[in-house]
Amino acid sequence: MKYTKLGNSDLNISRVCMGCMGFGEAGNGQHGWTIDESHSREIIKKGLELGVNFFDTAIAYQSGTSERTRRKRGICKICIGAGAP
């Protein structure tokens, strides 16, 4: 895995970012193609094994269930987000 600095910080993040919009509860959000927690965990685990340490998540994804799933697993030490108007 290749890494890069996050902005002007000392944080090294993977150049590959795993998008988490499709993780969470399918019945609780914008779309029905969401992957449940068990399958999400397998995908995230594989990403971590391959060196991914940069995850795109937001409280808006699947009405917050994506972020709660990721947070329960302790995947992210630092999360940066922006609120929607």
Query: Annotated catalytic residue: which of 34, 61, 66, 67?
Result: 61
Residues whose CB is less than 8 angstroms from the CB of residue 40 and which lie 6 or more positions away in sequence, other chains included: 20, 22, 23, 24, 69
The answer to whether residue 3 is catalytic is no
Residue 77's nearest CA partner among 47, 45, 55, 50 is 55
Catalytic machinery residues: 61
